[in-house]
C-alpha cells in the first residue's frame, strides 16, 4: 500500500511541478492586480450590496437558472424541428436529441425540487 502511494506521487510529480510554477507565475503577473482589486472600496461596496440583496431574494438565482434551462430546451427543440423539417438531417436525429431533452428536463426538475424543498420544509418522516 505504501509503494502504491509513492508510485502515484512519482507519476504526478511533473504535474505538481508545473502547477507550482504556474502558480508562482500567476502570482507574479496578476499579484498587483489582485491586491488592487482586494483593496478597492468600490468593489467592496458592490459585493456587499449584492450579498445583502441576494440574502433577501434567496431563490432568485434558482429562478434565473430555471428560466435559462427552459429557454435552452425550447430553442434546442425548435432548432431540431426546423432542421428536420428543412430536410437537412434525417428523422433519426430526433433519437439523437432525446438524451439532450432528458438532460434539460432533469435539470429543470432538479431546480424545481430545490425551490420547493425550502418552502415546504421537513417531511413527517424527517422529524
Could you read off the pLDDT tens digit of each residue along the chain, which spans 127 residues? 566 777 777 777 777 777 777 777 777 777 777 777 778 888 888 888 877 777 777 677 777 877 888 888 888 888 777 777 777 666 666 666 777 778 888 888 888 777 777 666 665 565 5
Are the C-beta atoms of 108 and 69 separated by less than 8 Å?
Answer: yes
What is the domain extent for residue 18?
2-39
Co-location of 63 and 23 in the same domain: no
Q: Which three cell numbers stand for residue 63?
A: 429562478
Co-location of 81 and 114 in the same domain: yes
Residue 57 carries which DSSP code? -
Co-location of 114 and 69 in the same domain: yes
Convert 97-118 to b/e letters by CB count within 10 Å (16 or more is b). Answer: beeeeeebeebbeebeeebeee
Are the C-beta atoms of 85 and 127 separated by less than 8 Å?
Answer: no
Cβ-based neighbours of 84, under 8 Å, separated by 6 or more? 90, 91, 93, 94
Which residue matches cell numbers 433519437? Answer: 95
Co-location of 61 and 35 in the same domain: no
Co-location of 62 and 29 in the same domain: no
Which pTM was predicted?
A: 0.50
Number of domains comprising the chain? 2
Co-location of 62 and 115 in the same domain: yes
Amino acid at each position: 500500500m505504501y509503494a502504491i502511494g509513492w508510485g502515484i506521487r512519482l507519476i504526478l510529480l511533473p504535474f505538481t511541478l508545473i502547477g507550482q510554477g504556474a502558480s508562482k507565475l500567476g502570482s507574479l503577473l496578476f499579484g498587483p492586480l489582485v491586491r488592487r482589486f482586494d483593496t478597492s472600496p468600490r468593489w467592496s461596496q458592490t459585493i456587499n450590496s449584492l450579498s445583502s440583496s441576494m440574502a433577501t431574494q434567496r431563490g432568485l438565482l434558482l429562478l434565473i437558472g430555471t428560466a435559462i434551462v427552459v429557454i435552452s430546451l425550447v430553442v434546442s427543440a425548435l432548432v431540431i424541428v426546423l432542421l428536420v423539417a428543412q430536410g437537412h438531417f434525417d428523422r433519426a436525429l430526433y433519437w439523437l436529441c432525446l438524451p439532450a431533452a432528458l438532460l434539460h428536463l432533469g435539470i429543470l426538475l432538479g431546480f424545481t425540487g430545490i425551490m420547493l424543498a425550502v418552502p415546504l420544509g421537513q417531511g413527517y418522516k424527517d422529524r
